[in-house]
Amino acid sequence: MTTECKSKIKILIADDHPLFRQGLKNAFGDTSDIEVVGEVENGNDVLGKVREQDLSLVLLDISIPGKGGLEVLKQLKSEFPKIPVLILSVYPESQYAVRFIKAGASGYLTKESSIDTLLDAVRKVAQGGNYASADITEKLAFDFLNVDKPLHELLSDREYQVFSMIATGKSLTEIGKELSLSVKTISTHRTRILEKMKMKKNAELIHYAIQHELL
């Protein structure tokens, strides 16, 4: 009994959708080796929960409210470098996977993934492995050879986040509210984004995002 408990993969789910969390718990509940020992719906609460419990893995949604997923990930890897983090997101991997894996995530899955794929990823990451598609693995492996990087890869993490939101048609006010930043700050980010990407208006950013399949 004790051996079985020790060998179980203990997971914290960080996601703000109660139905989705329940679905995950149901799926993991059908296994003998995976157990959900905690859940949070706000990025600000993740670290506190991790400090309280003995965890094997954190399953993190990148668009969780409060501290954004990327900030939470960086804090987790700084304070708990040995606890692997698996990203589970609605965003396609082409948009965020490389950036999150470079920041320390052990894997990236979309919420459209099958339960079997998710279980495989959880088990592999919990054992110290990494989980990513062949496309992302190849991109990471050859990234150091890529001298002519796409313009969007020149953006900082926050700039990329703002760029992605502008590309979906959100106004600066909407972006500010969602990120808990002033419109002035968002406007400054937008100016830097346009400068780095050598563009003059939002329409060009939207066209670029579509052209590079970032939406």
Q: 151-211 domain in CATH 1.10.10.10?
A: yes
Six-digit token string for 61 = 């949604």
pLDDT of residue 91: 83
d(CA 80, CA 210): 37
DSSP per position, 17-62 = -HHHHHHHHHHHHT-SSEEEEEEESSGGGHHHHHHHS--SEEEE-T
CATH architecture of 2-141: 3-Layer(aba) Sandwich (3.40)
How does pLDDT run across 123-155, given as a tens digit for each residue?
A: 999 999 999 877 777 777 666 555 557 788 888
Q: Span 81-104, mean pLDDT? A: 88
Identity of the amino acid at 202:
N
Q: Across the strands, what pairs with 9?
A: 34
pLDDT at 200 over 70: yes
How does pLDDT run across 12-58, given as a tens digit for each residue?
A: 999 999 999 999 999 999 999 999 999 999 988 999 999 998 999 99
| Model pTM score | 0.70
Sequence spans of domains, the chain: 2-141, 151-211
Six-digit token string for 106 = 């052990």
pLDDT of residue 95: 76
pLDDT of residue 6: 52
HSE-CB at 199 with a 13 A cutoff on CA atoms is 18
